[in-house]
Structure 1
C-alpha cells in the first residue's frame, strides 16, 4: 500500500480541523476518514477543532490569543464531535468563548478561549535555544524506520504510520531502551506541505501539534515509555498562549521541559519559536503518568 503524499496528509489534516456550522453556535468536527483512526481521539485534534469553533463564532478583527482546556473523557474515533459555543463576553478589545465538546451526549472537553483585537504594546521575550537547524537533523520518520525491526509487531503499524506533522528531534530518544535523562527536549516541526494563508487554520494546526511532545517530556527522568512499560498516560488539561503571527507550514522549534511530577501526574511546559527567533506561542499541560506494573 502506497503512503499518502505530504500534500495529501496536510490537506486531510486541514479538512479534519475545519469544523462545520450546523446551527447557531453549534459545530461538528468530523472524524478521521477511511477508518484511519486509532481508537482514542488525539487530544490535539479536539483542542484544535474547539479552537476553530471559537474562532468561527467571533467576528474579525478579534483573533485568538489564549485557550485553556480540560479533558474529561477520551474521545472515540468512530464518531464525530459536537462543539457547543457559549458567548460569555464581547467587548471592544476582547471576546471570551466557552466551548463544550461532546460525543454520544457526554462532554469530553471544556475549553475557554480569549480573543483580542490586535494592538501594539511593550515587548520582551525569552531567547530561542541554540540548536541545530532542521536541515541538519533526521526526520522522525527516518528515526523510526531505523529502529522498526526492534519494535514489537503489535506496535509497528501505529509506530510507522504516516503523519501530517513533520518532526525533526534535536536529540532522538530510544523507544526500546529509554535511558533516564534531563526532562527537556527540543524538536522542529511543521505541517507536511503548504496550507495557504488562512491565519485561523495556522493557529489550529499549531494547537493540534502543541499536544505532541509534552507528555513524553515528563517521562524522560524515569526511563519509561508506553512501549516498554505498563504506562498509562493521557492529557488532563492543556493551555496555549498565542503571542505572535506565524506559519505552521514553516519550521517551528518546540522546546519542552517538565519541572515536576508526582501523584501519578506530570507538569510540562513548552515554548514555540519561529525560525527567526520569535517566541510565537507558549504551552502548559498537566498529564496523567501512571505506572501499572
Structure 2
C-alpha cells in the first residue's frame, strides 16, 4: 500500500531494499530480494528487510509471490493477470516461504496459486494466470496528454529531503528516501504530504523506472513484471488521501492497510525505462478506499492496469 502498513505490509516506500541511498547498491539489493531460494519443486524461500517500519512492504510480498509462481511456468508463458489478498502483517526478521499450487496447465493458459507463509500462518494469497504470446484484436485508452517529461521533475528523494520538516521527525523522510533508492520515482502531481489540508481531485500521476539498467541474466521479461508489481503498491491509494486533504500514512493523520491487489499486464514493457503511473480513486467509504491505476510506456502504450482496495481510517 502507499505509505503505511497493512494486514500485509509496510510503507511502499519502506521495502527496505538495502537501507542505502546508493542507487546501484539499492537496485542490487532489490533484485536479490526477488531471487528466491528454491527449497523444493514448488516451494521457495524469500527474505526481506524493512527500513521504515517493522513490517514487510506489501509490494515486496506480491512481487516475490509472482516470482515464485513464474518459476513453475514454462518460459514462453508470461503472467497476464494476478489477484491477491493481504492477510496478515509480514515479519521482516523472518524468511517468507512461498508454496505454489499448479492449478492448471492448458494449451494456451497456465494458472498458479501462491501462498506466502510466516510462523506457520498464511500472510498473503496470490492467484496468477499466464499465457502464451498470440495475436488478437487491439485497442486501448489513450495516454493522458500534457504530462511533463520526467527529466523536468524532481526525484522523490529530492522532494523528501527538501520537505523533511513536514514529517515531524526528519529521519522519517530520510529513511523513506533511502528505501526508495532502487526506484527513480517522480511525481507529476504533488504528493499528499505537500497538499495536506487542501482536498483536491482524487488523481495522482507519477513517472517511475529502475535506478539502473537490467542486463544479462537479470534482463528477463518475467522479472520486469515482478518489478512492476513491486512498484505498483507504492502510491496507488494516494488519490484517496488527496480527495480528503490528508497528508499521508507517515504524517499520522490517517492510518491504512492494503486489503487486496489486482493487476492485468497488457503489452510488453521495460521497468528500466520510464513508465507513467496514472492513478485515481473512484470511491472511498466505510473505512475503505479504492485505487485504480493505468501504467503507460513513454511512447503511449497501455502496459498494465492495477486495482487495489485498502483500509483508510482517520485516527481517533
Same fold flag (TM > 0.5): yes
In structure 1, the partner of 2:283 is: 260
Q: 1:185 aligns with which of 204, 211, 215?
A: 204
* Larger RCO, structures 1/2 (Cα 8 Å, 6+ apart): 2
**Aligned Cα RMSD in Å?**
1.7
What displacement does 1:157 show?
4.1
The 8 Å contact of residues 185 and 255 in structure 1, kept in 2 or not, is answered as yes
In structure 2, the partner of 1:119 is: 134
In structure 2, the partner of 1:276 is: 299
Within a 5 Å distance, the mapping from 1:1-293 to structure 2 comes to 3-32=20-49, 36=51, 38-130=53-145, 131-153=147-169, 155-163=172-180, 164-173=182-191, 175=193, 178=196, 179-196=198-215, 197-224=219-246, 225-293=248-316
What displacement does 1:140 show?
0.8
List runs of 5+ in structure 2 lacking aligned partners: 1-18
Distance 1:37 1:171, change over 3 A: closer
Q: Taking structure 1 as the reference length, what is the TM-score of the superposition?
A: 0.94
Q: SS where residue 280 of structure 1 aligns?
A: strand
What displacement does 1:229 show?
3.8
Q: How far apart, in 2, do the equivalents of 1:112 and 1:227 lie?
A: 30
Q: SS where residue 214 of structure 1 aligns?
A: coil
Q: SS where residue 242 of structure 2 aligns?
A: helix
Q: SS where residue 79 of structure 2 aligns?
A: strand
Q: How far apart, in 2, do the equivalents of 1:174 and 1:48 lie?
A: 25
Q: How far apart, in 2, do the equivalents of 1:227 and 1:23 lie?
A: 39
List runs of 5+ in structure 1 lacking aligned partners: none
What displacement does 1:261 show?
0.4
What displacement does 1:36 show?
4.2
Q: Taking structure 2 as the reference length, what is the TM-score of the superposition?
A: 0.88
Q: Number of aligned residue pairs: give it.
A: 290
Distance 1:135 1:151, change over 3 A: same
Q: How far apart, in 2, do the equivalents of 1:266 and 1:150 lie?
A: 24
The 8 Å contact of residues 20 and 26 in structure 2, kept in 1 or not, is answered as no
Q: SS where residue 259 of structure 1 aligns?
A: coil
Q: How far apart, in 1, do the equivalents of 2:193 and 2:281 lie?
A: 19
Q: How far apart, in 2, do the equivalents of 1:36 and 1:155 lie?
A: 10
Distance 1:271 1:152, change over 3 A: same
